[in-house]
């Protein structure tokens, strides 16, 4: 009998343990706001002694949310309930949240000070207090000493925004993490609590604006019905200091308003936008403004009526001005001209318009001249529109970076561009200093990230992609941070605080982009052709327009490979200052990562690496694919410090990533070999497939 009781108890214990494990398994939902209980007792005790209460003077939704977040975070981390009170408690240590008009931190900035035994978070605006509260939590999640949290921080960019490419029927253009977060069919009556968690996540990294719909915009969003849905979202976001914006369909006066034209100089059209804007502000009083993709990839725009981008933007700007709204006008334009170089298009269309935009217009420029490629030179528009505030657009969703399967930490992409020197006002004229307004005294500044979020439980599909959202927000706040520091910080907040594992994972993160480039588009290859943006198709040569083929970009022929953009070719390099041009326009000295961006290189040409071109290509593709095996090993080594579900998830993705790296490698090399006529060096294993076989796998992938 005794034995059976013992056995029963044992079984119950096992069942309870399994249930507990399942309950605590990490599904990634909490992002970097995990607030796991601190295991180190000394740290836990130090924190509970320092934070016995949270006092807020004044009251607003944002302040209340700041206090609530601190309460949730600290209670979870220390295991002790921490009350929110109206005034500091005598003889007890606590956190004091306060608005102080004279606070030195500017704009949305904050300061954290130790006053006696109290931690005081103060700011000129309540949003600043919220950012300061999140900063303190970030600090404590890394288990650092309380007093080291003291300091001051102000954002370098005013509009720190996410751009969602979400459609009204719930899909996301270039989204790889499920459907849209916004449940348009349920809104406005049902407001998913997840919208609050979305807002918390954004506020925690300083994001203060969100464009909720796709730039390929449906006019439906401007109907009263949809505006009320958007208003319900805005109602949640505003409590976290986030303004809501809409992408607009430029032809809406016609399609929605029933007018004969959408000509921006037509008085009826202007009146329509004025009325529509008034209506929007009557429904969403703190509406941020419009994001516009016009005369780009088939979208309507002012050029349909012989008008300029400035005419179009200024019409909208006039409607928004009374409400202090802004127009964010995208510079992503290119024409179907077989003789033109798409690289040059945005510069050619926009530079002549410098100085012609209204005060509340920002021109939003993608980081590179083509389209979010794994590596691009910075867009030559930066520095060449001194009288027009230029915002920068990065892509967080991994359209060309292996969707949600491949592990690519994007911070090095952002940083590379922000740190690039344009030389427009001499040395040190970095893209960052243009975008933050300091170089040209822009009155408006903006950094946008095309969101990688979706309805997947873990928000971004691949758990590692959360780091890209995180890094974007941190850079938008402070572009002087390093990709490395952000990787370490994110890892500690999201995966583990174990020192060695943090070092291993952040090292993998930092190397992941170059590894991807090596097996995907080495030496400055690019692949923005139509199709899946996933499967390799370097042979693709047919499309309705030349710039929607692969061969347009890589220009492989019997002589060599690459796009000549020197004076002998398209001369796109002339769009850069001489100091920049000099680093790129000589094939002998051009850094290898940019080689095919600017040069057509003969197959047997000896490169600065000591290898000839063909051998260098083989080296890159093979090393890149092999490096994914290295990633697998590194990841296996951190297994004991990572939540088992997340570890298993990423392990699976890395296996797939390796297979696909080989797929890419073989597709490119076997195809390019038909031009180079050179063998793959004997040190590498031969591809297991023929070119025809690889093509076949791609055809199957693309099959409908
Ligand atoms: O990269 C291309 C994408 C399109 C996108 C476009 C843009 C929203 O393939 O899907 O459209 O860029 O940025 O407008």
Domains of the chain: 2-153 (3.30.379.10), 159-479 (3.20.20.80), 517-563+600-702 (3.90.1330.10)
Torsion angle defined by CA atoms of residues 104, 107, 112 and 118, in that order, rounded to the nearest 10 degrees:
80
Q: Cβ(332) to ligand 1 under 6 A?
A: yes
Angle between helices 126-141 and 483-494 (to 10 degrees): 80
* 329 Cα–ligand 1 center, Å: 14
State the catalytic residues: 297, 371, 399
490: left (phi over 0), alpha (psi -120 to 50) or beta: alpha
Quickly list H helices, 205-322: 224-237, 252-255, 267-283, 309-320
* pLDDT at res. 532: 86
Work out whether the CA dihedral 231, 233, 236, 240 comes out positive or negative.
negative
Q: By the 8 A CB rule, do 555 and 342 touch?
A: no
pLDDT in tens, 547-565: 999 999 999 999 999 999 9
* pLDDT at res. 531: 82
The SS3 assignment for 13 reads helix
DSSP E strand boundaries for 74-189: 84-85, 95-99, 110-115, 118-123, 151-153, 159-163
Tokens representing residue 3 in the block: 């034995």
Portion of the chain with pLDDT greater than 90, in percent? 92
Which of 369, 372, 397, 399 maximizes ligand 1 atoms within 8 Å of its Cβ, making it the mutation to test the pocket?
Answer: 399
The residue-averaged pLDDT of 629-639 equals: 98
Burial string for 393-406 (b: 16+ CB within 10 Å, else e) reads bbbbbbbbbbbbbb
The SS3 assignment for 239 reads helix
Q: Cβ(173) to ligand 1 under 6 A?
A: yes
Q: Cβ(371) to ligand 1 under 6 A?
A: yes
**């000839």: which residue's tokens?**
612
Instruction: State the pLDDT confidence band at 17, using cuts at 50, 70 and 90.
Output: very low
Predicted model pTM: 0.96
Q: By the 8 A CB rule, do 661 and 407 touch?
A: no
The residue-averaged pLDDT of 25-53 equals: 97
* 528 Cα–ligand 1 center, Å: 10
Angle between helices 483-494 and 466-477 (to 10 degrees): 130
The SS3 assignment for 451 reads coil
* pLDDT at res. 352: 98
Instruction: State the pLDDT confidence band at 512, using cuts at 50, 70 and 90.
Output: very high
Atom of ligand 1 nearest to the CA of 450: 13
Q: By the 8 A CB rule, do 669 and 525 touch?
A: no
116: left (phi over 0), alpha (psi -120 to 50) or beta: left
Q: Cβ(165) to ligand 1 under 6 A?
A: yes
Atom of ligand 1 nearest to the CA of 533: 9
Task: Tell me how far apart the alpha carbons of residues 528 and 472 are, in angstroms, rounded to a whole number.
Answer: 23
Task: Tell me how far apart the alpha carbons of residues 232 and 161 are, in angstroms, rounded to a whole number.
Answer: 19
pLDDT in tens, 188-244: 999 999 999 999 999 999 999 999 999 999 999 999 999 999 999 999 999 999 999
Task: Tell me how far apart the alpha carbons of residues 45 and 204 are, in angstroms, rounded to a whole number.
Answer: 25
Burial string for 415-435 (b: 16+ CB within 10 Å, else e) reads bbbbebbbbbeeeebbbbbbb
């Amino acid at each position: 009998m005794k034995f059976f009781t013992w056995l029963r108890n044992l079984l119950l214990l096992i069942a309870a343990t399994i249930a507990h494990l399942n309950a605590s398994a990490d599904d990634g939902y909490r992002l970097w706001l995990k607030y796991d209980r601190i295991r180190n007792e000394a740290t836990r005790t130090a924190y509970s002694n320092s934070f016995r209460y949270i006092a807020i003077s004044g009251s607003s939704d944002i302040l209340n949310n700041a206090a609530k977040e601190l309460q949730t975070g600290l209670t979870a981390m220390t295991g002790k309930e921490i009350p929110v009170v109206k005034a500091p408690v005598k003889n007890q240590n606590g956190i004091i949240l306060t608005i102080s008009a004279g606070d030195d931190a500017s704009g949305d900035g904050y300061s954290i000070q130790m006053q006696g035994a109290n931690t005081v978070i103060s700011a000129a605006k309540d949003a600043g207090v919220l950012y300061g509260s999140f900063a303190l939590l970030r600090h404590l999640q890394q288990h650092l000493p309380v007093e080291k949290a003291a300091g001051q921080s102000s954002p370098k960019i005013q509009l720190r925004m996410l751009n969602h490419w979400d459609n009204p029927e719930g899909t996301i253009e270039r989204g790889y993490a499920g459907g849209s977060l916004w449940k348009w069919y349920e809104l406005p009556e049902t407001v998913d609590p997840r919208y609050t968690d979305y807002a918390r996540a954004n506020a925690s990294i300083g994001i203060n604006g969100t464009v909720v719909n796709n730039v390929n915009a449906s006019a439906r969003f401007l109907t009263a019905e949809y505006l009320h849905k958007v208003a319900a979202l805005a109602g949640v976001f505003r409590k976290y200091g986030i303004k809501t914006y809409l992408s607009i369909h430029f032809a809406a006066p016609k399609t929605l308003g029933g007018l004969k034209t959408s000509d921006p100089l037509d008085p009826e059209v202007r009146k329509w936008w004025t009325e529509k804007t008034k209506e929007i502000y009557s429904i969403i009083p703190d509406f941020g403004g419009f994001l516009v993709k016009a005369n780009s990839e088939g979208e309507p725009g002012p050029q349909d009526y012989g008008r300029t981008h400035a005419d179009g933007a200024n019409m909208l700007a006039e409607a928004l001005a009374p409400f202090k709204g802004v127009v964010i006008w995208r510079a992503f334009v290119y024409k179907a001209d077989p003789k033109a170089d798409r690289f040059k298009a945005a510069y050619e269309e926009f530079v002549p318009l410098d100085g012609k935009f209204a005060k509340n217009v920002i021109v939003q420029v993608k980081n590179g001249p083509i389209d979010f490629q794994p590596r691009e030179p910075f867009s030559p528009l930066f520095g060449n529109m001194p009288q027009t505030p230029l915002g920068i657009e990065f892509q967080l969703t991994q359209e060309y970076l292996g969707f949600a399967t491949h592990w690519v930490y994007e911070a090095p992409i952002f940083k590379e561009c922000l740190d690039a020197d344009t030389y427009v006002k001499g040395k040190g004229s970095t893209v960052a200093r243009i975008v933050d307004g300091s170089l040209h005294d822009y009155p408006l500044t903006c950094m946008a990230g095309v969101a990688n979020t979706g309805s997947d439980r873990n928000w971004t599909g691949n758990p590692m992609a959360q780091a890209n959202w995180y890094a974007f927000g941190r850079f938008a706040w402070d572009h002087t941070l390093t990709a490395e520091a952000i990787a370490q910080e994110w890892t500690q907040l999201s995966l583990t605080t174990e020192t060695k594992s943090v070092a291993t994972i952040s090292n993998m993160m930092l190397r992941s982009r170059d590894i991807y480039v090596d097996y995907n588009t080495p030496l400055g290859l690019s692949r923005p052709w139509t199709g899946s943006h996933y499967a390799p198709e370097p042979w693709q040569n047919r499309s309705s327009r030349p710039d929607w083929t692969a061969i347009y970009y890589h220009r492989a022929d019997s002589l060599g490979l690459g796009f000549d953009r020197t004076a002998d070719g398209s001369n796109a390099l002339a769009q850069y200052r001489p100091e920049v041009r000099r680093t790129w326009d000589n094939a002998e000295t051009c850094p290898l990562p940019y080689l095919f961006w600017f040069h057509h290189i003969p197959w047997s040409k000896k490169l600065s690496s000591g290898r000839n071109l063909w051998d260098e290509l083989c080296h890159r593709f093979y090393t890149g694919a092999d490096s994914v095996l290295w990633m697998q090993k590194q990841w296996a080594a951190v297994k004991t410090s990572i939540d088992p579900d997340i570890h298993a998830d990423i392990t699976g993705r890395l296996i797939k990533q390796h297979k696909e790296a080989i797929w890419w490698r073989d597709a490119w090399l076997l195809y390019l070999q038909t031009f180079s006529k050179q063998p793959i060096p004997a040190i590498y294993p031969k591809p297991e497939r023929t070119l025809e076989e690889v093509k076949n796998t791609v055809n199957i992938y693309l099959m409908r």
